[in-house]
Structure 1
Amino acid sequence: MRYVKHVQNKVTPQNEPVPGKPMVANSAGGYSFAVDDWVRLDRFLVLGCEGGSYYASERALLRENAEAVVRCVQADGVEAVRRIAAVSVAGRAPKNDPAVFALALAAAHGTAAGKTAAYAAVPAVCRTGTHLFQFAAASDGLRGWGRGLRQAVADWYLKKAPRDLAYQMTKYQQRDGWGHRDLLRLAHPKTSEPTRNDLFAWAVGKKGDDYAETLRSTVTPDADLAPLYALEAAKRATSEDEIVRLIRNYRLVREGVSTQFLTSAKVWEALLADMPLTALLRNLATMTRVGLLASGADAVRKVVANLTDAGRLAKARVHPLALLVALKTYERGKSVRGDGTWTPVREVVDALDKAFYLAFRAIEPTGKRWLLALDVSGSMGGPELAGMPGITPRVGSAAMALVTAATEPEHQIMAFSHELVPLDIGPRMKLATVLKKTSNLSFGGTDCALPMLYAAKNRVSVDMFVVYTDSETWFGQVHPFQALTQYRDKTGIAAKLVVVGMVANKFTIADPGDAGMLDVVGFDATAPAVIADFART
């Protein structure tokens, strides 16, 4: 009978596997469950690998994820491409880069059906010229230029509406060492449309320096070639008024405005009129610095209206993490990677805070009792989420928890590493205040079982445990899934556990054999709604 003290399924130290469970050693020296390749694909699409993780370099983490993606596209290429496109088109990820790279992997390594699906998905996933250059660079490095790839790139140029194509070709002219000249010469798209042929000829340098003068007499503001005329005319502009006219009448893109005019409030006011929301977020600091955005100004009212329009946010695929980065950067009044400074406008800060919540899919309260537990251990303070400046997994988890807390009236928010502590935060607090509170917490070894052990010991009624973590748990004397079982047995509550993965690694604390546990990807824009749906089932 002494043997059972050392080998049992109910209580097992986290640095040992549970007999009979499909557990693997994690990077911290503990044992967790391994997620399957499809979960790994989802995590990669949303979280990416930029900067690596606390335990793995960017190169090592990317290679692991790329291998998982390849296994998916070889097992079922059509399904893999469907998932890639679904994440990209719905704007569920902070950046589109992982989806573009995964699509290139599908085109290079998929089955015949998978490759066909990948090429067909290029217009949906590679919506901008930048995305297309990224796809070309990845494909060139993975497999070279076959007929299928050439046709997919040619179709990108041939199937866009002429005005949209003109906009894309003037706004996004080169990236990753690739430009439209390179792609057009490789893909050889053929068309009889004069406008499209003019764009192609311009891109490969066949129109000459005086092309603006040629266009001046024929192009109207509504013409398909208006963006091209504006770009060429801007090269010769000598005054703010000329630039403003080109912006207002011909939709001159910001990339076509000479640096000397980008310190003008008048120029930025013209750009603001039709500025896409993603560009708006990137340029808030500049527009404040040049004096366009000032408290009470009409421009501020326009910015606030745009940022707090849920419909526009959804249509523009503005990701919550992008808003969080914009809020964190704008409020501090200093560039993260430069020496620029500005005085934040309070109305803009408040609008960014509100926009963060609006960017998640609308959620109806479930009426359940929630305990939201944030892993604040050392590994969660590691590299930035999806390469977004200043947003570590620890910061991101706090922001995500507030989305659920803002919806569910019965909730507790706690933080843990080697011990569990209540967090004095609430959904009515400003995000900046919450992030400051979580950033100043002490941390040690990771014990993801603590939320369930605490609730059992203190007789706290919980229907939904939500743990935001990288699943690198190792410190405790009982595994998290065992702690959940103990809680269920002690309280009689059929409590569920949701594990929100904040890093694109292969580990989870959720037992795949327990239907009351769920893995979701951190900062997937649909995650809070998925969690709420799981709570109702």
Structure 2
Amino acid sequence: MADYLKHFAALVTPQRQKARADQVKNSAGGFAFALDAWARLDRWLILGAEGGTYYATERKLTVENARAVEACLAADGPRAVQRIVDISSSGRAPKNAPAIFALAIAAADAKLETRQAALAALPEVCRTGTDLFHFTRDVQGFRKWGRGLRSAVAAWYNDKPVDRGAYQAMKYQQRDGFSHRDLLRLAHPVAPTPQHDALYRWIVGGIEALGKESARGKALPMSDLPDAVRAFESLRAATNRKQVTALIRQHRFTHEMLLTEWKNDPAVWEALLEHMPQTALLRNLGKMTAIGLLSPMSDASRRVARQLTDAGRLRAARIHPIAVLSALKVYEQGHGERARRRANALSWTPVREVVDALNEAFYLAFREVEPTGKKHLLALDISGSMTSGSIAGVPGLTPRVASAAMAMATARIEREYGVVGFSAAPGGYGGKWGGGVSGLTPLSISPEQRLDDVLRAVNGLPFGGTDCALPMVWAKRNRVEVDAFVIYTDNETWAGGVHPFQALREYRQAMGRPARLIVVGMTSTGFSIADPTDPGMLDVVGFDGAAPQVMADFTRGVS
């Protein structure tokens, strides 16, 4: 008798077949659920598409996500712009570039109200001069310069207190082929005060421009320039270390404001360190070590370690966990990512106190979350596709490595948890039917270990196909009590004999537990294994700074 059930069944369906009418084919040939445009917008704003994925190039992924941005703008332009602002300004995303790109698309929208909303949001999304240069580059790919764009850029300068405007001009001088001089000439702002007028003339024409007649018909006195700008001119003219360090301490100048010849002087960096912003500190650990300022058991190393693990400073600076993780990966390897390709590239011997502080700072960068008291199974997708691409463009930070770091953040919060890695055996049947090598491996890692050790351990695991049902199949077979399955994946599941949502349903019935499933999407694809019709399943974006709190609330049953 023919076995028709193997071709079509409602309870158990191979992942290469559609189990429900609302499923779509993912990039790997399996079937999953499509994210709506709003969920995909969130993934784009937080994860971006640098480096692409195993199945999609950076270009393909960017185009797909740009279409999702356009779909959200078409559905509700002001809402989409507000979403861009909310994620950008909250510090939830590792990088601001995706938000800037999305805002540039919105600024060229066909609807006037959307364009106006986008241009009004410019200072909220583009908070630094570098952000503004990025936006200018991006927006010119979608529209020409018109009155609205000129007015928005002019307002970016005019609405800032003159001291803040001066700081932007001194620190973020040029990027992406643009300078402040270029933008002032494009936007033609009418200075709101004599001090702004003096600042703009200094940006465009240098200190000599102050003695010439302005658009108001008279020369401007040097006293109209902010004190910091006059001191900056003195800094650029300084000829000895004592002058340079004194000006740095008095005016809190940053390393971007220095001439190149002072950037290898330990005394100069020691002066910079006294008021160094948290982001700059993370980015310059290698430099300060290479020139000898940071050394084992030195006062400077102790100061840096204290600043890195200061939770208040991390929160105030809106430091994202990815920024800390990137700093850790670069610093502990002792050279920059491009060092091997350049002669005389910067290199250093990592200082233990700094490495220890970075390990601790990673966890501190997540928002504080109360433990739920629930039993968690943290399941890491270690299949081959998770080894391609990079999170937020950080070299070496593959979705597989990043998922281990994010899982450790949850493990630090919760008391009852297990950690497993899963990938399908050759042929895709190892975890389900027992053929070949088992598809799921309990991992003996914990947050008590150093984060860098955990990342290395996970990166060295063997890999195979993707079967996101394995955690539920394994837990049912072994009678493991689980309140929340947390699966870190790219959602490119294809290799299993049962869909993940079916496996969760079977687990719930067999164990008599209303287990929940949290799917942590580690790439900005448009798929999810989470059933959108099941209130016990949740899709979150990997490395969203707010994710641990959202996951904890969902596990508790708080909507």
Q: Same fold (TM over 0.5)?
A: yes
Residue 214 of structure 1 corresponds to none
Take 1:160 and 1:192, find their aligned partners in 2: how far apart are those partners? 10
Residue 405 (str. 1) matches residue 411 (str. 2): yes
Aligned residue in 1 for 2:61: 61
Say whether 1:383 aligns with 2:389: yes
Counterpart amino acid of 2:313? Answer: R
Identify the range of structure 1 (288-297 vs 426-435) with the bigger mean alpha-carbon deviation: 288-297
Does the Cα contact within 8 Å between 1:163 and 1:224 map onto a contact in 2?
no
Q: Give the match for residue 341 of structure 1.
A: 347
How has the CA–CA distance of structure 1 residues 147 and 360 changed in structure 2, closer, same or farther, with 3 Å as cutoff? same
Matches within 5 A, 1:80-159: 80-109=80-109, 111-159=111-159
Matches within 5 A, 1:439-458: 439-458=459-478
Which residue does 1:196 correspond to in 2?
A: 196
Task: Give 1:317 shift.
Answer: 1.2
2:28·2:493 contact (CA, 8 Å) conserved in 1?
yes
Kindly report which structure 2 residues correspond to 1:360-371, keeping only aligned pairs within 5 A, or say none: 360-371=366-377
Which whole-Å CA distance do the structure 1 matches of 2:469 and 2:329 have between them?
31
Contact kept? 1:470, 1:505, Cα under 8 Å: yes
Larger mean CA deviation between 509-518 and 328-337 belongs to: 328-337
Cα deviation 1:487-529 (Å, max 9, x = unaligned): 0110110001010000001111111111111000000000111
Summarize deviations over 1:176-208 as a string: whole Å, max 9, x none: 111111211121111241221111111212533
Q: Distance in 1 between the 2:475 and 2:409 partners? A: 22
AA in 1 matched with 2:336: S
Equivalent residue in structure 2 for 1:500, among 504, 510, 520: 520
Q: What residue number does 2:511 align with?
A: 491
Match for 1:462: what amino acid?
A: V
Structure 2 unaligned spans of 5+? 212-220, 340-344, 425-438
SS of the residue 1:336 aligns to: coil
Q: Alpha-carbon deviations, 1:44-68, whole Å to 9, x = none?
A: 0000011111111111111110010
Question: Higher mean Cα deviation, 83-92 or 304-313?
Answer: 304-313
Cα distance, 1:7 vs structure 2 = 1.3
How well do the aligned residues superpose, as a CA RMSD in angstroms? 1.7
- 1:451 Cα deviation (Å)? 0.1
Supply the AA of the counterpart residue of 1:257: L
Partner residue of 2:530? 510
Which residue does 2:489 correspond to in 1? 469
| 1:373 maps to amino acid | A
Moved more, 460-469 or 238-247: 238-247
**Separation of aligned partners in 2, 1:125 and 1:310:** 24
Question: Once the two structures are superposed, what CA deviation does each residue of 1:296-348 show, in whole Å capped at 9, x if it has no partner?
Answer: 32222221222112121111111100100111111222222114221211111
Deviations 1:396-446 (A, max 9, x none): 100000011111111000001111101110011101110011010000111
What's the offset of the Cα at 1:30?
1.0
Q: Is the 2:305–2:354 contact (alpha carbons within 8 Å) kept by the matching residues of 1?
A: yes
Q: Give the Cα–Cα distance (whole angstroms) in 1 for the partners of residues 254 and 317 of structure 2.
A: 17
Name the SS for the 1:204 alignment partner.
helix
Structure 1: gaps of 5 or more residues = 212-216
In the alignment, which residue of structure 2 is the partner of 1:166? 166
Residues 517 and 537 in structure 2, CA contact (< 8 A), matched pair in contact too: yes
Tell me if structure 2 keeps the 8 A contact 1:320–1:359: yes
* Paired residue secondary structure (1:202): helix
SS of 1:142 mapped into structure 2: coil
* Matched residue type, 1:509: I
How big is each residue's C-alpha offset from its partner over 1:444-495, in whole Å with a ceiling of 9 and x where there is no partner? Answer: 1111000000000000000100000000011110011110000011011000
Quick one: which amino acid aligns to residue 33 of structure 1?
Answer: F
8 Å contact from structure 2 (residues 466, 495) kept in 1 = yes
Whole-angstrom distance in 1 between the partners of 2:49 and 2:353: 34
Within a 5 Å distance, the mapping from 1:290-439 to structure 2 comes to 290-338=291-339, 339-418=345-424, 419-439=439-459
| Partner Cα distance (2:255, 2:409) in 1 | 34
Structure 1 position 210, deviation (Å) = 9.9
Q: Percent identity?
A: 55
In the aligned structure 1, how far is the partner of 2:86 from the partner of 2:454? 32
Preserved CA contact (<8 Å) 2:198 2:210: no
Partner Cα separation in structure 2 for residue 4 and residue 422 of structure 1 = 33
- Rounded Cα–Cα distance in structure 2 between residues aligned with 1:346 and 1:457: 44
CA contact (8 A) 2:199 2:225 kept: no
Secondary structure at 1:191 match in 2: coil
Deviation of residue 261 (structure 1)? 1.4
Which has the larger displacement, 263-272 or 110-119? 110-119
TM-score, structure 2 normalization: 0.92
What code does the residue aligned with 2:277 have? Answer: P
- Cα separation, 2, equivalents of 1:359 and 1:533: 19
**Which residue is equivalent to 1:269?**
270
Number of residues paired by the alignment? Answer: 528
1:233-285 deviation per Cα after TM superposition (whole angstroms, max 9, x unaligned):
23322222222122112333312212221111100011111111111001001
- Matching residue's letter, 2:302: R
Alpha-carbon distance between aligned partners in 2 of 1:238 and 1:271, rounded to the nearest angstrom: 17
Name the SS of the counterpart of 1:471 in structure 2: coil
CA shift at 1:3, angstroms?
Answer: 3.5
Matched with 1:187 is 187
- Equivalents in 2 of 1:128, 1:33: separation in Å? 38
> Counterparts of 1:224 and 1:381 in 2: how far apart (Å)?
53
The letter of the residue matching 2:348 is W
SS at match of 1:498: strand
More deviation, 105-114/435-444: 105-114
CA contact (8 A) 2:248 2:272 kept: yes
Contact 2:158/2:192, CA 8 A, preserved across alignment? no
Q: Could you say if the C-alpha distance between residues 110 and 128 of structure 1 is closer, same or farther in structure 2, counting changes exceeding 3 Å?
A: farther
CA contact (8 A) 1:73 1:110 kept: no
